[in-house]
Amino acid sequence: MASVAAQPPKTDHVQSSRDKSPPDRATECIHCRLPVPAGNAAWMVEGFCCIGCATAYRLIMGAGLGDYYTMAEQRPLGPTTDGSDPERYRWFDHPDFLEKYTRRADDGRYSVRLALSGIHCAACVWLLEKLPQFLPGVMDARVTWARSTIDLEWDPVRVSLARIATVLCELGYAPYPVSDGGIGDHRRRETREQLIRLAVAGAAAGNNMLIAAALYLGMFAGMAGSIEQLLRMASALVGVVSLVWPGRIFLIGALAALRTRTPHMDLPLALGLFVGTIGSVVNALRGVGDVYFDSISVLIFVLLLGRWIQTRQQRSAAEAIDLLNRLTPRWARRQLDGRFVQVPVTLLREGDIVQVRAEETIPVDGVVSLGRGSVDESILTGESASISKQVGDWVAAGSQNLQATLEIRASATGAQTRIGRIASLVEDAARRKPQIVQWADQMGGRFVVAVLMVAAATLGYWLWAEPAMAVDRVVALLIVACPCALAMATPLAIAVALARAAKHRILIKGGDVLQRLSGTGMVWLDKTGTLTRGQMQLIEWYGDESIQPAVAAIQSHSAHPIAVAMTRHLSRLVNTDDRLASKLQSVEQTSRGGIQANFDGMSIRIGNRRFVESFGGRQIDRFAAEVNQMLAGGITPVYVAADDQVVAVAGVGDPIRGDARWSLNEIRRLGWTVGILSGDHREIVARVARQLDIPPELAHGELLPEDKIRMVQPGFAKRIVTTTGSPNGTPASKTHTSTGTAGGTQECGRHTRIAKAKGTHGSGIDGTVVMIGDGVNDSAALAAASVGIAVRRGAETSLAAAPVYFAQEGLRDMVHLVRLAKTTMRTIRWNFAASLSYNVLAIGLAATGQINPLLAAILMPISSLTVVSLSLLMPHDWSHASEE
Amino acid sequence: MSVLFIALPVALLLGGAAVAAFVIAARGGQFDDLETPPRRILFDDREGRTPSRGNR
């Protein structure tokens, strides 16, 4: 796994009335190497960025495993989840869980395989495999790097699986059950058989080449008849073994293709191999005529090698993590006789009352029956702004409860929840997607027809000219016509492309993605995190700056995204410490859209305009001009008042990424039409679209996940086309959305006036629809699109729904991917041209009777070598504009 | 009679034995994971390390 050099964190430049650059105060957290904000909030521990990292450090050092820090690659890890909630993994000990996911050995030990997130280097493997050392009761721990899983054996008497899971989480590797059941076993066996076939073919090829070398020498120097016959028989034996054992799959594949009448590259391969072997066996028994066993064995080996390379490239993420499992908790507190008891979520029924505490995930769809607070519904809407909820409001399973304990009466559970239905939509969409017939297979079909015609012609000619040699000539022709290089042309080019993409942290699950992306079509983008940074940030500050420490201290008490953004930035700018915290008193979050506190005798209030008006703040229009500018640019103004007088205005917003403009222009230049599909507010989406030259009818906001699924179907994009100066009027899109607060089935109420199609960039919208979106809440749309590209979430979750995953933020990777697709298709075409010319040459020689085994043994490897070289030397342009 | 009439079949038998050994090892799962062991060899051994059992 290549280690990528870390990007130094950029300290953002905040525009202020005096335009001063902020000092860089970041030091690195000892555990995860993310910058430690130089501020002080209640949860900060000296030297670490969070309690999670501090705990992990103590655990690791306490077990005497401090070497971990010297071995870990020089790269920031990312924040460690706080494993302090001991309840989180209780459900790992439940009998249902143990029965489904674990195995019991005869001696009482249990074994389980868990998928872990956060494994990123050899040090992680080392640390995890040392688990038996510091967690008594764990007998064995083995990590499988490629699948990011750990196989554990433990003694249930001495330690519980829940405890193990908690420790894993504290170390920074959140565990999840792997639900592959029997499918995983089957795939494992298939992979082993493939390796065995390859090895046997290799052994056969090597041995046959040795024997053939002797025979070739005999061609020139003369050889005793008996020895020659011995060698031919030995060669025949090895050759037949290589056809019957490893080569069998080509014959089977060809038969299947014939039966279903689909073109496939196996057809010409099987023809050449089969006829060639039979013919050579006959000649070996006769003692007269040429034998081609060495070429056949080498052919089989090289073909299997190509296939093996191809299979290894494909990432199998779907087996790893059950999507629904990942998104909702498996454990909940249900009300029973006035108390709340822990039960598995699978046992919850409609009408049950569940209690959800702050910072927990809500396990069911339902209505709030007690309590008032706010939730984060980004899993459904993509928007991370908090939504306040009180008695009577509907809440969704999977959303995050932010502040206060809520009691919820369940209306839907499990697969019936909205998020459960979306997860099943993902599986549905993935299943229904038609497989494109690979261009290579079509070539294979045509090739076999052409070869048969030439063979027939050759047979006819030689039967007339020199009947004794006719059959031999045709057999030879069929052997050298075997398109080994042709069959490898596509897999090799794709394998190289996928490997290069992976090095640039673009993960691709299968090669057909490249073929789809090499043409033109429609790209639908998510807004948050792709076009914008995805995080609220403090962008502007006008007014009194001396009050910033107080503001930072006050806002650190709120979990609201705006407050978090302000705290994060301000605590890097200014020195906040213990003394400040002591000056702070009576912090109170009001329901009127603001927060207020007493600081050093002053009363400070922070909030929106309505809040300021509500307490009669003076000088509210002091920064009117700047505020108007903010609103026009989509930035939220936050007023700061000291002693009832407005002294400053801060601008908080989600800024457009610096590379967005360049990326979009490149994507358009490469022949794609761009649009936005977002769950965010329509005005914000419209503003972003305007700034990036996206026509309004292609920018859609306030979409539900179900809406997006409908809109990524290929037919939909055809109907919405940009008109370039059409006299029939620009299309207006009247949009009516029903907001999803009522639960249950939602009619997707979007109506868009159908525009007269007039023509677009290039060939425009021709059926390939690309969707770039969040790996979790856009997952169904990603699975339904022709090519779904997941961003932002973890790789394992994303690749369950989408075939492509961008590990880096922004759209530059899309540009790279499209370029890579075009280059790869070009390389494939070159490969075809090269290998075809060798085949034509060989067939020509065979038809005219000039071919012999030596010549064949030279020509065919050269054609393979040419194809390999072309694939490896494929040039690619990875340049891009730097982010401003 | 040339020695080749014995040597060649013996050589093929030896090759067959090697293939058989490989098949047995592969079916036993020894080639399942080729990426973790290369990283594992970089670790230093410490005294008193619990020897781990081979994987299934």
pLDDT beyond 60 at A833 = yes
How many angstroms separate the CA atoms of A740 and A382, rounded? 13
Enclosing H/E stretch for A578: helix A578-583
pLDDT in tens, A480-528: 887 888 888 787 888 888 888 877 888 887 777 888 898 888 899 887 7
How many angstroms separate the CA atoms of A196 and A89, rounded? 41
Interface contacts (A, B; CB < 8 Å): 74
Top residue of A71, A107, A125, A237 to mutate, by most chain B CBs within 10 Å, is: A125
Q: What is the mean pLDDT of chain A?
A: 76
pLDDT in tens, A175-200: 877 755 444 566 778 888 999 999 99
Q: Does A110 touch chain B (CB under 8 A)?
A: no
The per-residue DSSP string of A817-871 comes to HHHHHHHHHHHHHHHHHHHHHHHHHHHHHHHTT---HHHHHHHHHHHHHHHHHHH
Q: Which residue has the higher pLDDT, A384 or A527?
A: A527
Residue A607 near residue A594, CB atoms below 8 Å: yes
Contact assignment for B23 to A196 by CB distance below 8 Å: yes
pLDDT in tens, A221-239: 888 888 999 999 999 999 9
pLDDT beyond 50 at A753 = no
Structure confidence at residue B45 (pLDDT): 64
How many angstroms separate the CA atoms of A25 and A297, rounded? 66
Shortest Cα–Cα distance, B25 to chain A (Å): 10
pLDDT beyond 70 at A836 = yes
Q: Does A231 touch chain B (CB under 8 A)?
A: yes
pLDDT in tens, A652-681: 887 788 788 888 999 999 989 999 988 777
Q: Which residue has the higher pLDDT, A182 or A427?
A: A427
pLDDT beyond 50 at A42 = no
Structure confidence at residue A72 (pLDDT): 64
Structure confidence at residue A381 (pLDDT): 64
Name the pTM for this structure. 0.66
Enclosing H/E stretch for A525: strand A521-525
Residue A131 near residue A43, CB atoms below 8 Å: no
Q: Is A708 helix (H, G, I), strand (E, B) or coil?
A: helix
Query: What does DSSP assign to residue A281?
Result: H
Top residue of A3, A110, A192 to mutate, by most chain B CBs within 10 Å, is: A192
Task: Give me the interface pTM, i.e. the ipTM.
Answer: 0.82
Structure confidence at residue A245 (pLDDT): 94
Total count of residues recorded for chain B: 56
Structure confidence at residue A385 (pLDDT): 64
Residues in chain B whose Cβ is within 8 Å of chain A: 2, 4-5, 8-9, 11-12, 15, 18-19, 22-23, 26-27, 29, 31-33, 35-36, 39-40, 42-44, 49-50, 52-53, 55
How many angstroms separate the CA atoms of A632 and A540, rounded? 14
pLDDT in tens, A614-635: 888 788 888 888 888 887 777 7
pLDDT beyond 90 at A581 = no
Enclosing H/E stretch for A178: none
Show the tokens assigned to A565.
């953004």
> Can you say how many angstroms the Cα of residue B24 is from the centroid of all Cα atoms in its chain?
9
Top residue of A145, A154, A242 to mutate, by most chain B CBs within 10 Å, is: A145
pLDDT in tens, A104-159: 888 888 888 888 877 767 777 878 888 888 888 899 898 887 677 888 999 888 88
Q: Which long-range contacts (CB under 8 A, 24 or more apart) does A330-339 make?
A: A330/A91, A330/A97, A331/A87, A331/A88, A331/A90, A331/A91, A331/A363, A332/A356, A332/A363, A332/A364, A335/A407
> For chain B, how many helices (H) and strands (E)?
2, 0
Contact assignment for B31 to A192 by CB distance below 8 Å: yes
pLDDT in tens, B10-49: 999 999 999 999 999 999 888 887 777 877 777 766 554 4
